[in-house]
A and B are shown apart, each in its own frame.
Chain A
């Protein structure tokens, strides 16, 4: 692979990644948003977070298949309970890591 080709790949990737990040911020931050849009957008974070987490916890890759009970999902239960109880971001991260590490030692 030539250097120019690699530069093109990187610039092309950068451009197509930047555009979807930039368009809504540029066009929506400059105007008053209608209430229905704000209410709809209000539900986007919880939806995206779940859509990112669930497949991460309940499937395994290559080839992707369902695996409801694996270390990741099992550790998620006490991690979730800890988070609900404490509402602490840092604490949840540390507890999750320790539990995962222990579970990996014991089961994995």
Chain B
């Protein structure tokens, strides 16, 4: 028993410790979500939504930037169809994230992945991908990260919906929490030259494209192009020089 518990998979068995670890791991996300969630709630309230309606959107959609845009579209009197299409375009990038996560969820049931899919966000994706590379990580811990971030999002947006700007803008640098978290998670991904090259290419491309195309499709386009270029470069490097890039 003791021997089994030290192994990666069996570590997923103790539900309580998994939950606690999930919460612990997701604190930067939760902290970063709070000011944004409050801001969203306040915006929703100004657009005429009550806290219940705001919470409903956070539960059903759980995707920050698209919720902001949807609320401003609602205030501008946009129809259901155009809001749905815009939301789809904004959130298409999750397709790439779920594809990457699938590599680590090879033995998960369709039920599990159907629940897990709900919580795939930029933030939970970034945290879980960094964690999955270390061996002491499993699907239930990853799910706990997703769901605690989800809880923080729903709760903070509802509080904001009561008109509360409890955390004044700019206090304690909390507005920078998610940026700093992404910087650290990017560093975790830099495991060799090819990752640095791919990252810089994606970043520069994304900046250029973001200036040219309105909306946020630059994220998907830049990621696809840079990852494909990096993949080609890696293949080429192996073929030409026999060097592992």
Contact = CB atoms under 8 A, between A and B. Distances in A.
Interface of A: 1, 5-6, 8-26, 28-30, 32-33, 36, 38-59, 64-66, 72, 75-76, 79-80, 83-84, 87-90, 92-93, 95-102, 104
B177 A96 contact: yes
B98 A9 contact: no
Interface of B: 27-28, 31-32, 48-49, 53, 56-57, 60-63, 66-67, 70, 74, 80-81, 83-85, 87-88, 91-103, 105-106, 108, 110, 113-114, 116-118, 120, 122, 125-127, 129-130, 170-177, 179-190, 194-195, 198-207, 210-211, 214, 218-219, 222-224, 226-228, 230-231, 234
A26 B185 contact: no
Contact of A1 (B48, B87, B126): B48
B80 to A, nearest CB: 5
Contacts, number: 287
B98 A13 contact: no
B180 A29 contact: no
Given A33-B103, A97-B176, A17 B207 contact: no
Nearest to A40: B231
Contacts of A59: 207, 210-211
B118 A18 contact: yes
Given A13-B84, A26-B117, A104-B173, A54 B99 contact: no
A5 B53 CA distance: 12
A26 B173 CA distance: 39
A21 B73 CA distance: 23
Given A22-B113, A59-B207, A72 B176 contact: yes
Interface centre among A30, A45, A58 (most CB of B within 10 A): A45
Contacts of B175: 100
Contact of A89 (B85, B170, B184, B234): B184
A33 B107 CA distance: 12
A64 B210 contact: yes
Given A25-B116, A49-B126, A9 B231 contact: no
B52 to A, nearest CB: 11
Contacts of A93: 28, 31-32, 177, 180-181, 184
The 3 closest A-B pairs by CB, nearest first: A96-B180, A101-B173, A54-B203
